């Protein structure tokens, strides 16, 4: 089995050493090594990166410096990455003594079928992992902390068990409040780079006289679910309509929406709907341009700050002039979602004369001036006015040689239509300022390519600081997940809601705990067997374990009787966008096989009726 490390070491690398990096030892070992150097409660250990188990002499030497028994854990290069967590897909073995160490190494170095299935879905390579060796500890309690948004303290979910392992699908148990508070304090000690985006932390705990002693076992990014609303929808009520394509925005454009709230005074609270929630007028505009700190990339940062300020000022005037009764016309998110189709076109495309008159006469007018894309740049030349006769009555109200095209067209075209064109141009200029920052940052080694700029917020771009390690990969995973996000009817403070349309009369209903957001409807059944067609099936099961991961692809939804939302298999279901409800007591007995089931993984609601 080839190793995922192109240059595997033939020595044990101690955790905390500079050589323990993500490229050679995998993100899991690299994160734990970095946290150990920072003084966090991480168990000591070593990493073995060769694809072959170490010889007996090396193991005997290791036992002298790291007494057994040990636990052997995988740390693959793709594991715990921005593409997939591979949670529960690889093997861990423990407790292991010297006599069984080589066999345990062989088991951990093997790539299980679950890892191959998830790798194929995530589109990443998978190979024999590095092996992390740590002392075996039997903790009084083990558990997980899931924090989808570290800026939202109420969103932290802590689960654990004294008599089992929640990561393996065992039932979560009530935890003492003092233990939960200790987990919160441990999360607060993580450096900023570890809490960008969602976070998944595994811990072990032992009681002591004055409380609990925690050990940090693992930290990985909590990847977004495709059914999770974009981050900029966490405030306000966002209402969907059919006038604009319902798609998520890039990280940068989402931060522009935040700026319209804070700096442009717009009451942005409707997604693909009207701007004015209460019919009020916008607050006053923040007149001062936020200062740009001194430091690297000062020129591109200052340019971006100026262009953003110009864009926000025009956007405020542009949206407040638009027709309020036109659904979607007064929403920053809506116009930004609609704009890229125009911005993606090159000037040559925009200046191509259409075969037939269209609605946007401003664009057609500019098509007659390919050498001057902005018709305000120069006055009309003799003979050019005759070319405008194709607009019918365009020249009937006057205009002659020496008049700029803008003045001629200003007499003919609706002000809102002119505003639409200027808005598109200003957004294009803002995009070009972003890419100028991206090119400078690429040369400085901050990002891999200029387009990475759209994975950063406006404040991050103007701060003068490089992105924290791993931030761009996590943001890219977020954008990729949201490409397949299906828009609900409303999003209220980050919670999706759907209107109930005409449908069947539900015969039964139960409420569990929402584990993976989103909705799904299909036919009830168990987990599939090998080769069984599961398209559209709602799997109704008593428990979900890591061994079940290979059966998840193709499942439409999951209903699990056992409590707990932090198991490894549930995390994989989250990454696959499978709406999941756990703690659905009695679901296997109450939901008959073949029944039509609707699962709401956000609210935890499960309903069904029998098709006859």
Write out pLDDT tens, residues 205-261.
Answer: 999 988 899 999 999 888 767 666 666 566 666 666 543 434 556 778 777 777 776
Instruction: Give the lowest-confidence range in 112-121, 293-302, 409-418, 593-602.
Output: 409-418
Residues 286 and 328 in one domain: yes
The yes-or-no verdict on residue 175 having pLDDT over 50 is yes
For 144, the 3-state DSSP assignment is: strand
Domain-located, residue 396: yes
Give the mean model confidence (pLDDT) for residues 453-477.
79
The yes-or-no verdict on residue 329 having pLDDT over 50 is no
Residues 454 and 327 in one domain: yes
Q: Could you give the percent of the chain with pLDDT greater than 70?
A: 66
Give the mean model confidence (pLDDT) for residues 580-590.
91
The yes-or-no verdict on residue 490 having pLDDT over 60 is yes
Residues 155 and 240 in one domain: no
Confidence of residue 1 (pLDDT cuts 50, 70, 90): very low
Give the pLDDT score at 125. 82
Residues 330 and 465 in one domain: yes
Last residue of a domain, one of 90, 119, 135: 135
Give the pLDDT score at 307. 85
Domain-located, residue 424: no
Residues 332 and 466 in one domain: yes
The yes-or-no verdict on residue 121 having pLDDT over 70 is yes
The terminus-to-terminus CA distance of the chain in angstroms comes to: 52
* Higher-scoring residue by pLDDT: 395, 430: 430
Give the mean model confidence (pLDDT) for residues 133-159.
88
Residue 31, domain extent: 13-135
Residue 493 CA to chain centroid, in angstroms? Answer: 17
Confidence of residue 262 (pLDDT cuts 50, 70, 90): low
Give the mean model confidence (pLDDT) for residues 409-430.
66
* Higher-scoring residue by pLDDT: 370, 440: 440
HSE at residue 192, side-chain half, CA atoms within 13 A, is: 2
* Higher-scoring residue by pLDDT: 611, 437: 437
Residue (of 225, 183, 237) closest to 84 by Cα position: 225
Give the mean model confidence (pLDDT) for residues 124-148.
91
Give the pLDDT score at 195. 54
Residues 72 and 130 in one domain: yes
Instruction: Give the lowest-confidence range in 185-194, 330-339, 442-451, 527-536.
Output: 330-339
Q: Tell me how many domains the chain contains.
A: 5
Domain-located, residue 54: yes
How far, in Å, are 275, 507, 513, 521, 605 from residue 596 at the CA level? 39, 10, 20, 7, 14
Residue (of 451, 574, 480, 474) closest to 123 by Cα position: 480
* Higher-scoring residue by pLDDT: 196, 207: 207
Confidence of residue 270 (pLDDT cuts 50, 70, 90): very low
Give the pLDDT score at 580. 92
The yes-or-no verdict on residue 324 having pLDDT over 90 is no
Q: Are 522 and 556 in contact (CB under 8 A)?
A: yes
Instruction: Give the integer Cα–Cα distance in Å for 518 and 495.
Output: 10
What's phi and psi for 477, nearest 5 deg? -65, -35
Task: Measure the CA angle with vertex 195, ends 193 and 198; round to 5°.
Answer: 135
Residues 265 and 333 in one domain: yes
Give the pLDDT score at 145. 93
Q: Tell me the pLDDT tens digit for each residue of 533-552.
A: 777 789 999 988 888 888 88
What pTM was estimated for this model as a whole?
0.66
Residues 328 and 466 in one domain: yes
Last residue of a domain, one of 154, 187, 222: 222
Domain-located, residue 492: no
Residues 457 and 401 in one domain: no
Mean pLDDT of the chain: 75
* Higher-scoring residue by pLDDT: 122, 436: 436
- Total Cβ atoms within 10 A of residue 180: 16
Domain-located, residue 125: yes
Residues 464 and 508 in one domain: no
Give the mean model confidence (pLDDT) for residues 434-446.
91
Q: Tell me the pLDDT tens digit for each residue of 373-403.
A: 344 445 555 555 555 544 444 443 444 445 5
* Higher-scoring residue by pLDDT: 225, 119: 119
Instruction: Give the lowest-confidence range in 16-20, 73-77, 352-356, 372-376.
Output: 352-356
Bridge partners of residue 600, in order along the sequence: 519, 605
* Higher-scoring residue by pLDDT: 86, 215: 215
Domain-located, residue 421: no
Bridge partners of residue 580, in order along the sequence: 516, 558
Residues 553 and 405 in one domain: no
The yes-or-no verdict on residue 559 having pLDDT over 80 is yes
Residues 198 and 318 in one domain: no
Instruction: Give the integer Cα–Cα distance in Å for 541 and 587.
Output: 8
Last residue of a domain, one of 368, 398, 413: 413
What's phi and psi for 608, nearest 5 deg? -155, 160
């Amino acid at each position: 089995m080839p190793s995922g490390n192109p240059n595997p070491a033939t020595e044990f690398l101690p955790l905390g050493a500079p050589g323990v990096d993500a490229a050679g030892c995998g993100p899991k070992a690299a994160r734990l090594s970095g946290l150990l150097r920072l003084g966090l409660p991480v168990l000591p250990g070593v990493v073995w990166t060769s694809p072959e188990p170490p010889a007996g002499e090396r193991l005997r030497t290791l036992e002298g410096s790291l007494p057994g028994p040990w636990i052997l854990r995988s740390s693959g290069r793709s594991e715990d990455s921005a593409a997939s967590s591979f949670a529960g897909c690889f093997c861990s073995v423990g407790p292991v003594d010297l006599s069984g160490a080589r066999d345990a190494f062989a088991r951990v170095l093997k790539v299980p079928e679950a890892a191959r299935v998830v790798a194929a879905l995530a589109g990443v390579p998978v190979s024999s992992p590095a092996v992390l060796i740590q002392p075996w500890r039997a903790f009084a309690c083990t558990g997980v902390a899931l924090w989808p948004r570290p800026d939202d303290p109420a969103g932290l979910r802590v689960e654990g068990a004294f008599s089992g392992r929640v990561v393996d699908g065992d039932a979560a148990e009530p935890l003492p409040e003092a233990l939960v508070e200790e987990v919160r304090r441990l999360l607060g000690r993580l450096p900023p780079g570890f809490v960008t985006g969602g976070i998944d932390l595994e811990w072990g705990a032992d009681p002591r006289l004055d409380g609990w002693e925690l050990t940090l076992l693992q930290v990985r990014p909590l990847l977004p679910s495709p059914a999770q609303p974009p981050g900029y929808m966490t405030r306000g009520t966002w209402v969907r309509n059919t006038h604009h394509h319902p798609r998520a925005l890039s990280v940068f454009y989402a931060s522009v929406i935040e700026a319209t709230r804070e700096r442009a005074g717009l009451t942005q609270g409707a997604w693909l709907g009207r701007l004015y929630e209460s019919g009020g007028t916008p607050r006053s505009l923040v007149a001062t341009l936020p200062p740009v700190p001194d430091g690297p990339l000062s020129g591109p940062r200052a340019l971006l700050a100026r262009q953003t300020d110009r864009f926000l000022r025009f956007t405020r005037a542009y949206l407040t002039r638009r027709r309020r009764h036109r659904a979607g016309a007064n929403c920053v998110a809506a116009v930004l979602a609609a704009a890229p189709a125009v911005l993606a076109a090159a000037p040559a495309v925009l200046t191509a004369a259409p075969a037939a008159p269209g609605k946007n006469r401003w664009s057609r007018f500019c098509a007659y001036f390919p050498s001057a894309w902005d018709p305000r740049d120069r006055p009309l030349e003799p003979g050019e006015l005759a070319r405008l006769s194709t607009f019918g009555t365009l020249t009937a109200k006057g205009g002659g040689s020496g008049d700029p095209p803008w003045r001629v067209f200003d007499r003919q075209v609706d002000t809102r239509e002119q505003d639409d064109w200027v808005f598109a141009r200003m957004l294009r200029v803002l995009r070009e300022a972003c890419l100028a920052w991206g090119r400078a940052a690429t040369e400085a080694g901050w990002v891999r390519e200029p387009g990475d700029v759209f994975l950063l917020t406006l404040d991050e771009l103007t701060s003068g600081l490089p992105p924290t390690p791993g931030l761009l990969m996590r943001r890219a995973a977020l954008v990729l997940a949201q490409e397949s996000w299906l828009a609900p009817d409303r999003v209220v403070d980050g919670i999706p809601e759907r209107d109930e349309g005409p449908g069947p009369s539900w015969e039964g209903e139960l409420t569990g705990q929402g584990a993976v957001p989103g909705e799904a409807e299909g036919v009830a059944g168990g987990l599939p067997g090998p080769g069984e067609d599961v398209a559209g099936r709602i799997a109704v099961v008593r428990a979900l374990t890591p061994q079940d991961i290979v059966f998840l692809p193709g499942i439409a939804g999951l209903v699990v009787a056992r409590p707990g939302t932090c198991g490894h298999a549930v995390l994989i279901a989250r990454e696959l966008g499978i709406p999941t409800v756990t703690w659905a007591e009695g679901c296997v007995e109450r939901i008959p096989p073949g029944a039509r089931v609707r699962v709401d993984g956000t609210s935890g609601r499960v309903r069904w009726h029998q098709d006859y």
